[in-house]
Structure 1
Amino acid sequence: MAALLLLLFSVGALFSSSNAQEAYNTLPETYRKGVDLALEKIHSHAGIQHHFLFFRSVAKSDIESGFDVSYIYHHFYLKATKCQKGTVDSTTCQFRNDRPLIDCALCYKTFGGEIEEEPKPYVHCSHKPALTEEMKAERREHCSRMGYSNGAPTLLASMGTE
């Protein structure tokens, strides 16, 4: 009986860990590159002790301005896992439910599917409880100011409210 329970627990853990990557894997490649950029920034902080993974998207927007150029806006959550920071293979990492989500918003320009260095990609991540309305407004303003060609609509024009 104990062996059966252990087997069921192991299978459940396997499914929950595969679900952790499933949301990330369903993102289009250009959005995954942005998530990777945010994760790189988060994991570079000395105060972060756990490995974080993409949890879910809140809002996505992209404008294709032609000539294989796109402007991407992505608002999403990262969630802590039970793995330690620096984990290389995160396929076995399970989400923790005792840590706050990290709320991230980023906007960047891509050319040929690659993130451009100019204008510099904007990445803003904060623990969800610490995120203020002023921070949200600054995010929207920054992404709206991002350099677009004359006459192009703003990136956030198609998003509406959160």
Structure 2
Amino acid sequence: MNKMNAILKLLLLATVTLLVSAQEWNNYQSLPESYRTHIDKALRDANKKFGGLHHVAYEKLLSTPKITDYNLYVNVRLIVTTCKKEPNKGFAHRDDCITQKPKTPWIDCLVCKKENGGELIDCARQVDVRSGRDIRKHCAYRTHGGATVLSQKSGNSKQELGCLGCV
């Protein structure tokens, strides 16, 4: 019975993980505060570089953000909107302002932690990012995990060929 409960819990966890990772966060207000904090940094940068007289707004996440003590990786797509900038409203996303201005490119912004511990905020036209941006190579990717099924050794002193952990 305990094995069955463990299997059901594992299946439930896997299902929830898949649902969360498959969800597209197209609504800025539905994002967790931890995401919005970093998206706002991207909005500030993109508004300075690309907005001109128009406001730049959040459009969607391009990948699932990774925000931990060791990792920071938030990649978003922003748009130049039809709304004029209003200095008293700042650079934050405005729900009243989500229509893309014609003939303006999508903006790909990345907020990440660098190897030296600093933070990188890079916003560029999405087409330029696809053709390669060397600056983004400065992002640090760290994995801090425990043992996985493939790295565990069995308590058996007699190892069989083909078993997990038999190397």
TM-score by length of 2: 0.56
CA drift at 1:47? 6.4
Could you tell me which residue of structure 2 aligns to residue 106 of structure 1? 111
RMSD of aligned Cα (Å) = 3.1
Instruction: State how far apart, in whole Å, the 1-side matches of 2:55 and 2:49 are.
Output: 11
Is the Cα–Cα contact under 8 Å of residues 65 and 74 in structure 2 kept in the other structure? yes
Instruction: State how far apart, in whole Å, the 1-side matches of 2:39 and 2:112 are.
Output: 11
* Structure 1 or 2: more strand by fraction: 1
Could you tell me which residue of structure 1 aligns to residue 72 of structure 2? 72
Q: What secondary structure, in the 3-state scheme, does the structure 2 residue paired with 1:43 have?
A: helix
Instruction: State how far apart, in whole Å, the 1-side matches of 2:49 and 2:86 are.
Output: 11
- Deviations, residues 92-120 of structure 1 (Å, cap 9, x unaligned): 224125121111111149xxxxxxxx832
Q: What secondary structure, in the 3-state scheme, does the structure 2 residue paired with 1:59 have?
A: coil
Q: What secondary structure, in the 3-state scheme, does the structure 1 residue paired with 2:61 have?
A: strand
Which 4+ runs in 1 deviate beyond 6 A? none
Is the Cα–Cα contact under 8 Å of residues 42 and 48 in structure 1 kept in the other structure? no
Gaps of 5+ in 2: 1-24, 146-167
| Structure 2 residue 138 is the aligned partner of structure 1 residue 142 | yes
Could you tell me which residue of structure 2 aligns to residue 15 of structure 1? none
Task: Tell which has more relative contact order, 1 or 2 (C-alpha 8 A, sep 6+).
Answer: 1
CA drift at 1:143? 1.2
Could you tell me which residue of structure 2 aligns to residue 84 of structure 1? 84
Structure with the greater alpha carbon radius of gyration: 2
Is the Cα–Cα contact under 8 Å of residues 57 and 98 in structure 2 kept in the other structure? no
Instruction: State how far apart, in whole Å, the 2-side matches of 1:60 and 1:103 are.
Output: 14
Could you tell me which residue of structure 1 aligns to residue 27 of structure 2? 23
Is the Cα–Cα contact under 8 Å of residues 112 and 140 in structure 2 kept in the other structure? no
- Deviations, residues 105-142 of structure 1 (Å, cap 9, x unaligned): 11149xxxxxxxx832211111123334331x541x21
CA drift at 1:41? 1.5
Instruction: State how far apart, in whole Å, the 1-side matches of 2:32 and 2:98 are.
Output: 23
Q: What secondary structure, in the 3-state scheme, does the structure 2 residue paired with 1:95 have?
A: coil
- The change in CA–CA distance for 1:48 and 1:106 in structure 2 (over 3 A counts) is same
Gaps of 5+ in 1: 1-20, 110-117, 154-162
- Give the percent of matched residue pairs that are identical in Structure 1 and Structure 2: 25
Is the Cα–Cα contact under 8 Å of residues 51 and 83 in structure 1 kept in the other structure? yes
Aligned residue type for 1:134: G
TM-score by length of 1: 0.57
